[in-house]
Structure 1
Amino acid sequence: MEHILRPIYQERASHPDTLGVILINKRDDAINLTDTFDSVLLIIVKEADQPIFTKHYLYGDTKMVMHIVTEKRLRKWLFIGSNRKLVDWIFFGKVLFDRNEFLYKLRSELQEFPFYGRKIKTGIQFSKLIRRYLEGKEFFERGDYLDAYNYVVESLHHLGRLSVIDSGLYPEVTVWAQVKKIEPAVYKLYEELIMSNETLDKRLELLFLASEFLINSRTHDGAQHIVEVMLTKPTWKIQELHAHEELSYYSTDLEVFVEYLIDKGYIIVEPVIAKNEIVFHRHYRVDKQFIESEYGL
């Protein structure tokens, strides 16, 4: 397959903005690793007009796809964990071009998994977990058990990914195979939800109780990244939090996460009088006394 795609990737490799080119071929032992294509050509560039550019190719009965992705978008995916195939592609794909050892250094970075990288990924996954858990609980309390079930499954997936991240690894496509080895207690919860003979409402009730305990035990680590960011300023408006480069990765989960941390005592709401002197703006600051006792800062 490489010789068929060579003219395509060689042309791209000649561009000064191209950092690396990886070829991923379909494997029988990998579950849809290439999104139904026989080959994937991943090209990483420094900058581009579009953060993602895709082309499809056909050679006889062979389907091929080329993705051109900016370094910024690539790192965003790695932080958020929204494109889990990407880790497999970077680790196991064949390197066809590597400018100034960009891909070699990226692989080393992923293998070493710096502590800072773990903190931000933990924060993002934890914020997603909080939203799914709270929304699922609302459905459960209203008696909408099937909707609650969907949210509980999602929240367990985030719990599983947190377990993998805590162990110093990246969540793979087959994340539950990783969780089974790393944290059997979380895997057992997942098994009980989907395989138990109890009625659905009883299964959900037990899962919410167990999940609440696990969430509380992870709040310390899950809040660390956002707390450290917020300590860089005395107070924050919500838009300032959204606009912060790192906190923007939390996306729509950020506000629910902030409310959760207010409830847990990490963040304090500071009312600031508005122009009409009746309505107050809501500003936010970290409770430094609480944080000092929590993190020993």
Structure 2
Amino acid sequence: MEQILRPIYQERASHPDTLGVILVSKRDDAMNVTDTFDYVLLIIVKEGEQPIFTKHYMYGNSKMVMHIVTEKRLRKWLFIGSNRRLVDWIFFGKALFDRNEFLYKLRSELQEFPFYGRKIKTGIQYSKLIRRYLEGKEFFERGDYLDAYNHVVDSLHHLGRLAVIDSGLYPEVTVWSQVKKIDPAIYKLYEELVMSNESLEKRLELLFLASEFLINSRTHDGAQHILEVMLTQEIWTIQDLHSHDELSYYSTDLEVFMEHLIDKDYIIVEPVIAKNESVFHRQYRIDKAFVESEYGL
């Protein structure tokens, strides 16, 4: 198949913006990794008119997909963990073109999983965990148990991914097989939720209690990245935070995360008078004394 696809990817490889080309073949033990396609051609470019450009091809009975992805979008996916197949493609795909060892360095980066990378990934997963937990608890308190169940499952996935990241590994598509080895306690919670003979209400009640404890125990690690960013200036508006290159990865979970850190005394709200003197802008700063005692920053 490489011979058949060569004219397609060689045209792209000749462009100076192309950083690497990877060919991924469908495996019998992981058919969904390629989104049901027989082959995936992943082309990574420095810049592009669109962050993602996709084309579908067929050859005989085989179907193929080509994704052209900018480096910025690739890194966003890797930070957020929203495209777990991508990690499999990078690790197990065949490198057909590698400009200046871009793919080699990227694989090494993922394998070594530098400490800074762990901090931002931990923060992003932790912020998602908080949102899913709070929304699930709201559904539970209203008696909407099936909606609450969906949110609890998601929150456990984020807990599982946090455990994997904390161990120095990268969460794979089969994250629960990793969690079973790395953190059996979280895996046991997942089993109890989906397999217990207790009523759904009782299972959820127990899971919310356990989740609350786990969320609180992980605040120290989950908050480290955002606190280090916020220490770079004295005062922040919410727009400042959303506009920051790294904090933009938190997306819609950022404000829920901020409120959580305010509740936990990591961040202080500073009221600033608006045009109407009875209304105040909310601005934010780190409680430096508290953070220094927690982290020694």
1:143, distance to aligned residue in structure 2 (A): 1.0
Residues 142-153 of structure 1 correspond to what in structure 2 (within 5 A)? 142-153=142-153
Task: Give the TM-score taking structure 2 as reference length.
Answer: 0.99
Superposition pairs for residues 71-86 of structure 1, below 5 Å?
A: 71-86=71-86
3-state SS of the aligned residue for 2:131?
Answer: helix
User: How far apart are 1:296 and its partner, in Å?
Assistant: 2.0
Aligned to 1:132: 132
- For 1:41 and 1:294, how far apart are their aligned partners in 2? 46
Q: Find the counterpart in structure 1 of residue 123 from structure 2.
A: 123
Post-superposition, which runs of at least 4 consecutive aligned residues in structure 1 deviate over 6 A? none
Secondary structure of 1:32's partner?
Answer: helix
Q: Distance in 2 between matches of 1:48 and 1:201?
A: 49
In the comparison of the two structures, how many residue pairs are matched?
Answer: 297
Q: Secondary structure at the residue paired with 2:32?
A: coil
- Alignment partners' CA distance in 2, 1:31 and 1:128: 28
Q: CA deviation at 1:71?
A: 0.6
Residue identity in the other structure for 1:180: K
Matching residue of 1:68:
68
Q: Point out where structure 1 has 5 or more consecutive residues left out of the alignment.
A: none
Confirm or deny that 1:95 pairs with 2:91: no
Letter in 1 for 2:283: H
Q: How far 1:167 moved relative to its partner?
A: 0.6
TM-score, normalised to structure 1, is 0.99
What is the identity, as a one-letter code, of the residue corresponding to 2:209? L
CA distance in 2 between partners of 1:108 and 1:18 (Å): 19
User: Unmatched 5+ residue regions in structure 2?
Assistant: none
**Which secondary structure does the structure 2 equivalent of 1:278 belong to?**
coil
In 2, the alpha carbon distance for the partners of 1:105 and 1:225 equals 24
SS of the counterpart of 2:268?
A: strand
CA distance in 2, matches of 1:150, 1:30: 25
- Find the aligned partners of 1:151 and 1:244 in 2 and give their Cα distance: 28
Q: Which residue of 2 aligns with 1:211?
A: 211
Determine what percentage of the aligned residue pairs are the same residue: 87
Partner of 1:29: 29
Question: Residue 37 of structure 1: SS of its match in structure 2?
Answer: coil
The equivalent of 1:225 in structure 2 is 225
Residue matched to 2:296 = 296
Q: Distance in 2 between the 1:8 and 1:209 partners?
A: 54
Counterpart of 1:195?
Answer: 195
| Aligned-pair CA distance for 1:31 | 4.0
